[in-house]
Amino acid sequence: MIYLDNSATTRPHQDVLETYTKVSYDYFGNPSSLHTLGMEAEGLLTKARSAIADQLHVSAKEILFTSGGTEGNNLAIKGTAYHKKSRGRHLITTEVEHASSYETYKELEADGFEVTYLSVDSNGRVSLEDVKKAIRKETILVSIIHVNNETGTIQPIEEIGQLLSHFPQVRFHVDDVQGITKVPLNIKKAKIDLLTASAHKFHGVRGTGMLYVRNGVRLKPQIHGGVQEMEVRSGTEHVAGAVAMARALRMEMEKAQKEKSHLVKLHSKLIHSLPTIDGVTINSPLEKSAPHIINFSVESIKPEVLIQSLSAKKIYVSTKSACSSKLAEPSRVLLAMGKNSTAAGSAIRVSLSYETTEKEIDVFLRELKKIIPTLVGVRK
């Protein structure tokens, strides 16, 4: 098997699964309970929070556990919008956000908020000047994805954060689901107020995520019923998931220090080799792009047909993001970058992990080169 769909989800590390199983079985108490089992579970949750905070160089009080990226984005965006609506109802985001952010903004528009969707250039990148021009007296939130989940485009988060530091009434939210452990980001230096991450994107287990909430930032809760997670996110905490996430984050951060060059090498090989295959066009930017995501189009072939043909060889890639892959319309992200509807409707995403080998990339390229000529007749 050659798994090249790591931006959709990653296979949990064996050590992470063992941690998850042990905590689930041995520390099953509700961390809100006052008896010994509950206190032991609460202790583990506290340690996991501190361990994650240490990796991100923030305070443990600033880590809030969630169920994943979608909840984290919804909580950050809606929580800010509804908490600060008396100050203003203008929000700023981009045309290339993940669906969990983009659709949240659409819902807020229906509820009377005004949203500015910043355009991007041909590389999928926003302009710092456009961000500055969009800010108004009534602006309360700017929300921008760090690494685009479809193309790997890296946004100038640190520069935007420095700009927004001159507008104290504006909160800055960053969706770092695809960037964390792959593309370095200093949360404090970038002046970020809220940051979303999800464990299953870095070899943790699904159903667990975190939202960094800078000390002093207030959110209106979106889930009610208890006082868990600093009274912001009600519900019995997923202790095993949190502990497993802390371990997965530490492991992947260590790999990032040692194996970043390996990912860069594989990414470079794909960027240079794919265009040599007849019919293939690269959509990802050649510079300022994450080292684990490559997007390309084969305009003469239906993407689902190409994906299934590769699957038959036990090579697994995807179209768009996993959340939108079953939608038939062209990629909203690629259209925003100026790609034509044919290219945007035939895009394939290859996404790597630190475990991906050069041999696997060689096999993928070889099989792709064989498969494309046999499928050219299977047109849209």
Distance in angstroms between the alpha carbons of the first and the last residue of the chain: 29
Q: Which residue has the tokens 């104290």?
A: 168
Pairing of strands 293-298, 280-282: antiparallel
Query: 183 vs 54, 87, 95, 153, 348, CA distance in Å?
Result: 17, 34, 21, 11, 22
- Say how far apart CA 203 and CA 75 lie, in whole Å: 23
Q: Is 138 a catalytic residue?
A: no
Q: Which residue has the tokens 């929070």?
A: 49
In what side-by-side order are the strands of the sheet with 114-118? 63-66, 209-213, 194-198, 171-175, 139-145, 90-94, 114-118
Q: Per-residue DSSP letters for 71-112?
A: HHHHHHHHHHHHHSTTT--EEEEETT--HHHHHHHHHHHHTT
- Say how far apart CA 264 and CA 329 lie, in whole Å: 31
Catalytic residue among 2, 128, 322, 323: 323
Active site residues: 323
